[in-house]
């Protein structure tokens, strides 16, 4: 499984740091939605779903957390702990977010508006979906 982690360019000076993100330049899709989660309880795992079409970039802009990605064949855990790093999460990718530090703020840039019909929340259905769509469940790498 190929993990794509973007390292954004901070514009630092003696006042501190600033990161700017532009669609199609720093982010590989049109940004239609931004959301973020914070105050995540200790020991909580979120996610447990995949998306049919949605692409996203996850940025832990404060604190740290971990993301488990699963393409139906392989799983990887990616730590997010820098405000200038962004993890690309494609469609047809099961995701779980966990190990949030108490101060973690996980911001997500999304390619589509919120649509519950885009979610696959059942793991067996996800495996069938990647198989039927020629996804990584069968791919060699």
The footprint of ligand T46 (CB under 6 A) covers: 33, 35, 37, 46-47, 56, 95, 97, 108, 114
Question: Cα 61 vs. chain centroid, distance in angstroms?
Answer: 13
Residue among 33 and 82 whose Cβ is closer to ligand T46? 33
Q: Is 11 a catalytic residue?
A: no
Smaller CB separation from ligand T46, 11 or 32? 32
Catalytic residue chosen out of the listed positions 11, 49, 51, 62: 49
> The sheet that has 33-37: what strands, in order across it?
5-7, 85-89, 56-62, 105-110, 33-37
In angstroms, give the least distance from the CB of 98 to ligand T46: 11
**Eight-state DSSP code of residue 25:** T
Considering the complex, state which of residue 94 and residue 136 has its C-beta at the smaller distance from ligand T46. Answer: 94
Q: In this structure, are residues 135 and 76 in contact, taking their beta carbons and an 8 Å threshold?
A: no
Distance CA 29, CA 58 (A): 13
Choose between 10 and 68: whose C-beta lies nearer to ligand T46.
Answer: 68
Give CA–CA dist 21/86, Å, rounded.
10
Distances from the Cα of 10 to the Cα of 7, 55, 78, 82, angstroms: 9, 23, 21, 11
Task: Give catalytic residues, as residue numbers.
Answer: 49
């Amino acid at each position: 499984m190929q993990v794509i982690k973007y390292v954004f360019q901070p514009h630092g000076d003696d006042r501190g740091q600033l990161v700017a993100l532009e669609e199609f330049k720093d982010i590989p899709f049109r940004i239609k939605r931004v959301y973020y989660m914070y105050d995540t309880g200790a020991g909580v795992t979120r996610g447990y779903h995949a998306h049919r079409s949605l692409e996203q970039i996850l940025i832990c802009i404060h604190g740290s957390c971990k993301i488990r990605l699963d393409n139906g064949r392989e799983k990887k855990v990616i730590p997010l702990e820098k405000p200038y790093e962004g993890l690309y999460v494609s469609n047809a990718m099961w995701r779980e977010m966990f190990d949030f530090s108490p101060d973690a703020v996980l911001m997500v840039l999304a390619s589509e508006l919120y649509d519950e019909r885009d979610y696959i929340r059942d793991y067996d259905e996800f495996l069938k979906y990647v198989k039927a769509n020629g996804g990584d469940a069968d791919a060699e790498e």
